[in-house]
């Protein structure tokens, strides 16, 4: 009997639908070649869902995600929804999915493909063979802390506030993810905090150090976030696994991604609960939406991560990575990674090229 998986597809806004479409081509090809049965359940999310149902994360969408074996998301957000109430912004859908599915660990690998080494703004020798894994805590910290809001003061001015909070348990579980991931890689973890200023990240540092006692084979180093931001552009190869808080991870993962040449190349996995979610780390890029300019590779590589982390099929991930590498080696490029003497293709053509490589 064929192995059967249900995948919830959440295309979302901007370039989301275009890149998801290419990932679906790849899923179709794998379904045939691997003898799988894939049930794809497409549901609206973000601004697209707000337009139809008045909410960025309708109950039906959350339910489809919870019922699935894995979730594949495109991107959410756009200028059209910037003025609506905070609680109904497209971005809230992402946060709602993360917390409802208990996806407390976000894995964001920043890996340089040899063919793209010159697309990076850093010198070749600083980034060739670069392979960093940023592990971002995803359901706690300042993104979710209470109290939060904007209040009016007696003098008529306003005061805005958010709360950075972590419990010991939240820190322990993300630290374990980091050490476990490091064990299968370079066995080095840098934990990033601001322990010289923020008490809560002082606790972070203490708890990570305590959990490390169970992992004597892993080398642990602590680093302040400002130093880490600097070290990432100075000497990025010193890093193997970086583990950090929700907001520091948001910032550092964008920085790490750009070391590889294009944010359009990087996949991510959000894990922890029963159903994991996979998405490109780039946003909805409304300026290029619908023009065939988007790079679908981050989403296609996210499908690879899905096979690795949700379906236990690491070899399928390797196969997808290899197909992407071969396409790039042949000089095929979307606009974001285009350089001299290469062949520029559209989003759709890039998807076709990857499928063709997979089917060789």
Cross-strand bridge partners of residue 9: 42, 72
Task: Report residue 56: phi and psi, to 5°.
Answer: -70, -25
Spell out where 153-240 has E strands. 158-161, 188-193, 219-224
CA distance 60 to 45: 10
Q: Which of 128, 131, 180, 254 is flagged as catalytic?
A: 254
Site for ligand IPM in 59-78 (CB under 6 A): 77
Buried b or exposed e, range 271-305, using 16+ CB within 10 angstroms: bbbebbbbbbbbbbbbebbeeebbbbbbbbbbbbb
CA distance 191 to 193: 7
Q: Which of 5, 50, 143, 215 is flagged as catalytic?
A: 143
Is the CB of 283 or the CB of 304 nearer to ligand IPM? 283
Binding mask 222-261 for ligand IPM (x = CB under 6 A): ----------------------------x-----------
Judged on CB neighbours under 10 Å (0-12, 13-18, 19+), 6 is middle
Cross-strand bridge partners of residue 39: 6
CA distance 108 to 267: 7
* CB 93 to ligand IPM: min, Å: 9
* CB 254 to Mg ion: min, Å: 6
Q: Which of 215, 250, 319, 336 is flagged as catalytic?
A: 250
CA distance 22 to 45: 18
The one of Mg ion, ligand IPM, none whose footprint includes residue 70, by CB under 5 to 8 A per kind, is none
CA distance 116 to 325: 10
Q: Which residue is closest to ligand IPM by CB?
A: 91
* CB 321 to Mg ion: min, Å: 23
Do 357 and 327 touch, CB atoms closer than 8 A?
Answer: yes
Q: Which of 111, 194, 308, 319 is flagged as catalytic?
A: 194
The one of Mg ion, ligand IPM, none whose footprint includes residue 94, by CB under 5 to 8 A per kind, is ligand IPM
* CB 283 to Mg ion: min, Å: 7
- Residue 226 appears among annotated catalytic residues: yes
Site for ligand IPM in 91-110 (CB under 6 A): 91, 94
Note the Cα 13 to chain centre separation in Å.
16
Interacting residues with Mg ion (CB under 5 A): 250
Q: Is 137 in the site for ligand IPM (CB under 6 A)?
A: no
- Residue 250 appears among annotated catalytic residues: yes
Is the CB of 91 or the CB of 325 nearer to ligand IPM? 91
Is the CB of 250 or the CB of 321 nearer to Mg ion? 250
Q: Which residues bind ligand IPM (CB under 6 A)?
A: 77, 91, 94, 250
Catalytic positions are 143, 194, 226, 250, 254
């Amino acid at each position: 009997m064929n192995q059967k998986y249900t995948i919830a597809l959440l295309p979302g806004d901007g370039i989301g639908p275009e890149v998801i479409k290419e990932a679906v081509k790849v899923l179709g090809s794998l379904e045939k070649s691997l003898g799988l049965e894939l049930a794809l359940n497409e549901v609206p999310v973000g601004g697209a869902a707000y337009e139809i149902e008045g909410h960025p994360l309708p109950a039906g969408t959350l339910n489809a995600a919870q019922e699935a074996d894995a979730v594949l998301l495109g991107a959410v957000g756009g200028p059209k929804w910037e003025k609506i109430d905070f609680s109904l912004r497209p971005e809230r859908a992402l946060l709602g999915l993360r917390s409802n599915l208990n996806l407390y660990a976000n894995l964001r690998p920043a890996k340089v493909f040899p063919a793209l080494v010159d697309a990076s703004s850093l010198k070749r020798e600083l980034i060739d063979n670069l392979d960093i894994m940023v592990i971002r805590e995803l359901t706690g910290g300042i993104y979710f802390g209470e109290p939060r809001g904007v209040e009016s003061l007696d003098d008529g001015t306003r005061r805005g506030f958010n709360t950075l909070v972590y419990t010991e348990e939240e820190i322990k579980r993300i630290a374990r993810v980091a050490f476990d991931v490091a064990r299968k890689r370079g066995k080095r973890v840098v934990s990033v905090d601001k322990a010289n200023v923020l008490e809560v990240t002082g606790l972070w540092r203490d708890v990570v150090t305590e959990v490390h006692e169970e992992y004597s084979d892993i080398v642990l180093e602590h680093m302040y976030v400002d130093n880490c931001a600097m070290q990432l552009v100075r000497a990025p190869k010193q890093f193997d696994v970086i583990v950090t808080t929700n907001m520091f991870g948001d910032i550092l993962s964008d920085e790490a991604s750009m070391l590889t040449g294009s944010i359009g190349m990087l996949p991510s996995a959000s894990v922890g609960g029963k159903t994991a979610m996979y998405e490109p780390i780039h946003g909805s890029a409304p300026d290029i939406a619908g023009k065939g300019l988007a790079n679908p590779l981050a989403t296609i590589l996210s499908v690879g991560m899905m096979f690795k982390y949700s379906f236990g099929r690491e070899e399928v991930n390797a196969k997808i990575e290899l197909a992407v590498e071969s396409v790039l080696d042949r000089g095929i490029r979307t606009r974001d990674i285009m350089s001299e003497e290469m062949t520029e293709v559209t989003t759709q053509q890039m998807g076709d090229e990857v499928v063709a490589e997979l089917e060789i």
